[in-house]
């Protein structure tokens, strides 16, 4: 699954088939993809997540810590069923 950073997707589509899935902090999901990259996502509701970042094994901890501080704000902003796709900058 490529090109998903910055998109709101169904949680199951990200975690199915992933060799590594963990909720690092409440609301922050980390899943490894087929390319060995870690997708970092914020859970918006029971079904939907916002993929906020991708990281390599060498910097995944740093990225997780960065996003952990923003989970609540992101959930408040996008955590409804009436949201628009965000425009995250690289």
- Kindly report the number of other CB atoms within 10 A of residue 15's CB atom: 15
Asked if the structure places residue 70 within a domain, the reply is yes
The domain of 69 spans 8-77
Token pair, residue 17, equals: 């088939």
Q: What is the pLDDT of residues 14-63, one digit of tens each?
A: 999 899 999 989 999 999 998 999 999 999 999 999 999 999 999 999 99
Asked if the structure places residue 83 within a domain, the reply is no
How far is it, in rounded angstroms, from Cα 78 to Cα 45? 9
Half-sphere exposure of 45 (CA within 13 A, CB side): 12
Asked if the structure places residue 87 within a domain, the reply is no
What's residue 87's pLDDT? 64
For residue 84, pLDDT beyond 60: no
Query: What is the reported pTM?
Result: 0.83
What's residue 3's pLDDT? 78
């Amino acid at each position: 699954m490529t090109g998903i950073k910055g998109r709101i997707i169904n949680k199951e589509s990200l975690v199915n088939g992933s060799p590594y899935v963990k909720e690092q902090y409440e609301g922050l999901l980390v899943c490894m993809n087929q390319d060995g990259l870690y997708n970092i996502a914020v859970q918006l509701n029971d079904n939907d997540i916002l993929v906020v970042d991708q990281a390599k094994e060498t910097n995944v901890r740093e990225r997780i810590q960065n996003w952990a501080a923003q989970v609540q704000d992101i959930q408040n902003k996008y955590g409804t069923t009436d949201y628009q796709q965000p425009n995250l900058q690289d």
